[in-house]
Structure 1
Amino acid sequence: MTVTPAISAPPAQQAGVPAHRDGNVLRWLGAYTSSMVGDSVYYIALSWAAVQAGTPSQAGLVMSVSAVPRALLMLGGGVVADRLGPRRVVIGSDIVRCAAVFAVAALLFLADPGLWALALLALVFGTVDAVFMPAVGALPARVTTRDQLARVQGMRGLAIRFASVVGAPLGGLGVALGGAAAAFGLAGLLIALSVPLLVSVRVRELPGDDAIAAGESVWGDLVTGLRYIRRHPVLAPLMFAIALGDLGFVGPLNVGLTLLADQRGWGASGMGAVLAGFGVGAGVASLLLTVRGRLPRAGLVAAYTILAGSVAIGALAFVPTLVAAVGTALLVGLLAGLSGAMCGALLQTQADPAYLGRVTAVASLVSLGIAPLSMPVSAAAIGAWGTGPVFVVSAVVCGLGGVVALCVRDLRRAELPR
């Protein structure tokens, strides 16, 4: 059955203050933004240090180490988030990540530990991410009311865009001024800044928060959560639609775009312009949701924007000029940003609070564990058949997510709370 959890509102929300004017939500947003910028700086520092300490293949291996524990432990991380509470898990995760980054910064400053320290740091980050990401996804429902969750998704999207724009230059500046050690130190400071902000955030107990305490084991709670998703009339098809959309989106917009820019002679600057167009489009979508707070007929909007976005993805391989490619990428970003925010808000509002961590864990595993597998497949397919056919196939896969959303009545009719 469809679950509509009742959430008591904090004083500011009961007075009708929208999320983007609520100090409690803004403190959460500041913590999230600081942590995301710190992550961006961390990845710049890690890649630079790995390249300096080893061969390119060794550096690539170090960069991929974190993906293994993240994929293997993500579902269990959702159980941990539901058992302990998302704010407690996010605070603990940021403390561990901060300590690990500072430790490696100190090692690099005092000595040359080699690749082993970097690989260990990546392993720690991947392990902590497995519990951090589900908790981050489950936290918004505890800092605002259900009718504000779409607006919060927009605010979160703006934070992600800000982190991607600001993080890389900050990481490069840190490396330029003091090497990898300084960049790691900067990343640690940014992550540390999120902790006092999170401590100051007020959270509420939601109906069902204590239900998981009766679970017999982590495995039993995990199976219960997966069964809950499978039987839910909205969440089950929504997960399927998200998976198809991500599988068709990740390959072309990562590996495929690089190969397309090389074939067309756009160069690195041209590829950067196309990516900037995508970022602007996604930012506009996030800003729209932040200002409006809610779009009616959310399930239908998600379906149509996934379908339209898939057409734009396919068209990207056939546009004749760089200017047209930038415009198409902007459209892709706008449509993907809207569909992603709608899907995220539906996940938040349709899931019973007791299962939010596990629901977020499954969605994160699909997006971060399964979808990236399409990148090597896309690269090999482009090498064999060229960019055009591969982009078209990817667009079809992505579009199937929209078809699922249109064909499943409960998902198509799903609404965000007013």
Structure 2
Amino acid sequence: MTAATEAPVSLPATPAHRDGNVLRWLGAYSASTLGDSVYHLALSWTAVRNGTPAEAGLVMAVSAVPRAVLMLGGGVVADRFGPLRVVVLSDAVRCLVVLAVAAFLFVSSPTLWVLAALALVFGAVDALFLPAVGALPPRIAAHDQLARVQGMRGLAQRAALVLGAPLGGLAVALGGQAGAFGVAGLLFAVSLPLLLALRLTPLPKDTGVKGSTAFRDLADGLRYLRRHRVLGPLMIVIALSDLGFVGPLNIGLALLADERGWGAAGIGWILAGCGAGAAAASLLLAVRGRLPRAGAVMGATIALGAASIAALAYVPSLPLAVAVALSVGLLAGLSGALCGALTQTACDPAYLGRVTGVSGFVSLGIAPLSFPLTGAAVGLWGLGPVFVASAAICALGGVYGLLVPALRGAELPTVPARRT
């Protein structure tokens, strides 16, 4: 990274959706996220075509191990070396590795060992990429625009999920397995010039992290998080809500559709409803820029979303299930966007990589452990009790947030009125 990239800049007093710096970041993030979506489709398709279902599942699960183990360290790396450097390096590594695998598949038959190695590399890179991505917005956008940036990021994520599957399928149809990996690699490559063109605002003070050990940096970040009146309780809210949310929405939906006879198409419709609701929530935050009483709204939407999760197990028809899923997506999407916006606005930017690493460790490392527990519990007690129990855990997170005065009263920065 050149010194010019890190030079101090004056952030324009314009909305994020008109800020060229933010739009370059959004374009890079969209390309990278779309590449990630195409990559996962290519990996799963190639694994399924060249191994047993158990072997394919193992390949897909390999990336979760380094991601969970290294996520906290990834936050330290982002704060120590700068989030932009880490994001650029992460996308460059993903680009080169995926293109190398595409070239290998073009001249040779795929092996599960190659796919497992690729998944392992991606998991390790994700552990660096995700905290750094979370730490970037305060360095490229004005403080009062961070909630709007969070909404724009949510829209980019939803668009990648919607477009990634058909784009990956088209790439497989036209170019085979090698072609799909090649498209993913090119999308990662598209993000690089956009990232290198970003202008970063400097940190408000010297953090001193570069002179200490990585372990001390991590311990310092955890102490900062524990003592923070808003961020400490917020991490507990995120942990409880994710633990209650991910099991029913990832494992429970498949079991529900199978029990009701809705089939794979039914799962698709329910997930589409959930995704549409989440996209609407992101759009709301992107357009408005802030919501008043953000902490209270976050806690309330988590509790209401939990009620919708419990209701999913008892709906008698697919159309009604889609409608309930729409409410789940809207409420969970809004609460999730507010969690992200409050994290970015309440946190000192010098610690944001480590704080985002803790949040990612909870969401991507601990919460997925509930998947096998959810499946086993459904086998013992049925869908209804398990959905209700999971919803209760999720609701507990919202109630806890409402009971902590500092978090309940947390506000997003006021967006200045547009000048005429």
- The reply to whether TM is greater than 0.5 is yes
Residues in 2 aligned to 1:199 and 1:210: alpha-carbon distance in whole angstroms = 24
Residues in 2 aligned to 1:9 and 1:383: alpha-carbon distance in whole angstroms = 58
Shift of 1:284: 0.4
Residues in 2 aligned to 1:138 and 1:209: alpha-carbon distance in whole angstroms = 16
Equivalences for 1:336-415 in 2 at 5 Å? Answer: 336-415=332-411
Are 1:209 and 1:353, in contact at CA under 8 Å, matched by a contact in 2? no
Extract unaligned runs of 5+ from structure 2.
1-6, 415-420
User: Is the aligned partner of 1:250 residue 2:250?
Assistant: no
Residues in 2 aligned to 1:113 and 1:155: alpha-carbon distance in whole angstroms = 37
Are 1:211 and 1:354, in contact at CA under 8 Å, matched by a contact in 2? no
User: Is the aligned partner of 1:138 residue 2:171?
Assistant: no
What CA deviation, in whole Å up to 9, does each residue of 1:303-341 have, x standing for no partner?
Answer: 100011001111111112111111110000000011001
2:417 paired residue number: none
Are 2:8 and 2:202, in contact at CA under 8 Å, matched by a contact in 1? no
1:40 paired residue number: 37
Residues in 2 aligned to 1:289 and 1:168: alpha-carbon distance in whole angstroms = 26
2:209 paired residue number: 212
Q: How many residues align?
A: 408
Are 1:319 and 1:325, in contact at CA under 8 Å, matched by a contact in 2? yes
Shift of 1:10: 5.2
Residues in 2 aligned to 1:248 and 1:391: alpha-carbon distance in whole angstroms = 9
Equivalences for 1:93-104 in 2 at 5 Å? Answer: 93-104=90-101
Residues in 2 aligned to 1:243 and 1:282: alpha-carbon distance in whole angstroms = 19
Residues in 1 aligned to 2:211 and 2:350: alpha-carbon distance in whole angstroms = 12
The normalised TM-score by structure 1 is 0.96
Q: Which runs of 4+ in 1 moved over 6 A?
A: none
What CA deviation, in whole Å up to 9, does each residue of 1:107-137 have, x standing for no partner?
Answer: 1101124111111111111111111100000
1:171 paired residue number: 168
Residues in 1 aligned to 2:132 and 2:236: alpha-carbon distance in whole angstroms = 21
Shift of 1:182: 0.4
2:69 paired residue number: 72
Report SS of the residue matched to 2:12. helix
Residues in 1 aligned to 2:159 and 2:270: alpha-carbon distance in whole angstroms = 17
Shift of 1:27: 0.6
Question: One-letter code of the match for 2:251?
Answer: V
User: Matched residues, percent identical?
Assistant: 67
What CA deviation, in whole Å up to 9, does each residue of 1:133-189 have, x standing for no partner?
Answer: 000000011110111111111000000000000001111111111211000000000
The normalised TM-score by structure 2 is 0.95
Question: One-letter code of the match for 1:45?
Answer: A
2:87 paired residue number: 90
RMSD between superposed Cα atoms in Å: 1.2
Equivalences for 1:229-308 in 2 at 5 Å? Answer: 229-308=225-304
Shift of 1:209: 5.2
Deviates more, 1:269-278 or 1:204-213: 204-213
Shift of 1:9: 9.6
Residues in 1 aligned to 2:205 and 2:376: alpha-carbon distance in whole angstroms = 47
Extract unaligned runs of 5+ from structure 1.
1-7
Residues in 1 aligned to 2:197 and 2:207: alpha-carbon distance in whole angstroms = 23
Residues in 1 aligned to 2:258 and 2:45: alpha-carbon distance in whole angstroms = 24
Are 1:75 and 1:222, in contact at CA under 8 Å, matched by a contact in 2? yes
Shift of 1:13: 2.5
CA gap 1:12/1:352 in 2 versus in 1, 3 angstroms: closer
1:322 paired residue number: 318
What CA deviation, in whole Å up to 9, does each residue of 1:221-278 have, x standing for no partner?
Answer: 1111111111111111100000000001000111101100111111111111111100
